[in-house]
Chains A and B, each alone.
Chain A
Amino acid sequence: MSSVLEKVKFDPEGFLVDPMTWTREIGEAIAKREGMQLNARHWVVINFAREYFTQNGESPTPRNITKNTDVTTKELYELFPGGPAKLAAKLAGLHKPTGCI
Chain B
Amino acid sequence: MKTFLILGAGTAGTLMAHTMTKKLDPHDWQVIVVDRDEKHYYQAGYIFIPFGMYKPESVIKDKKSFLPKKVKVIWSDIHMIEPDKNQVTLVRDKQVIHYDELVVATGVDIRPDQTEGMLGGGWQKNIFDFYTFDGSVKLAQALKDFKGGNLVINVTEMPVKCPVAPLEFVFLADWYLRKRGLRAKTELIYSTPLPDAFTKPSANAKLSDMFRKRDIHLEAEYAIGSVDAARNMISSYDGREIAYDLLVTVPTNMGIEAIERSGIGDDLNYIQVDKGTLQSRRWPNVWAVGDTNNILASKAGSVAHFQHEVVAKNILDHIAGKSLEEQFDGHSLCFIESGYGKAVLIDFNYDQEPVEGTYPLPGLGPFRLLNETYLNHWGKLVFKEMYWAMMYGIKVPLPSKMSTAGKKISSHNRQGEAA
| Residues in chain A within 8 A of chain B (CB atoms) | 58, 61-64, 67-68, 73-74, 76-77, 81-83, 95, 98-101
Contacts and interface: CB of A to CB of B under 8 A. Distances in A.
Interface string B217-240: 000010101000000000001100
Interface in B161-207: 163, 194-195, 199-200
A81 B158 contact: no
B297 interface: yes
Given A74-B225, A77-B237, A83-B221, A101 B267 contact: no
Nearest to A57: B419
10 contacts: A63-B157, A63-B268, A74-B225, A74-B237, A81-B238, A95-B417, A100-B159, A101-B163, A101-B296, A101-B330
Which 7 A-B residue pairs are closest in the complex by CB-CB distance? A100-B159, A77-B237, A100-B158, A67-B267, A101-B298, A64-B267, A101-B199
Contacts of A95: 417
A90 to B, nearest CB: 14
Nearest to B114: A63
A63 B418 contact: no
Nearest to B254: A63
A63 B237 contact: no
A76 B199 CA distance: 23
Nearest to B297: A101
B226 to A, nearest CB: 10
A38 B221 CA distance: 23
Given A63-B267, A68-B267, A77-B238, A101 B159 contact: yes
A15 to B, nearest CB: 10
A77 B240 CA distance: 12
A77 B199 CA distance: 21
A98 B419 contact: yes
B314 interface: no
A98 B297 CA distance: 11
A63 B265 CA distance: 14
B332 interface: yes
Nearest to B158: A100
Contacts of A73: 223, 225, 237
A100 B163 contact: yes
B386 to A, nearest CB: 22
Nearest to B272: A56
A99 B194 contact: yes
Contacts of A64: 267
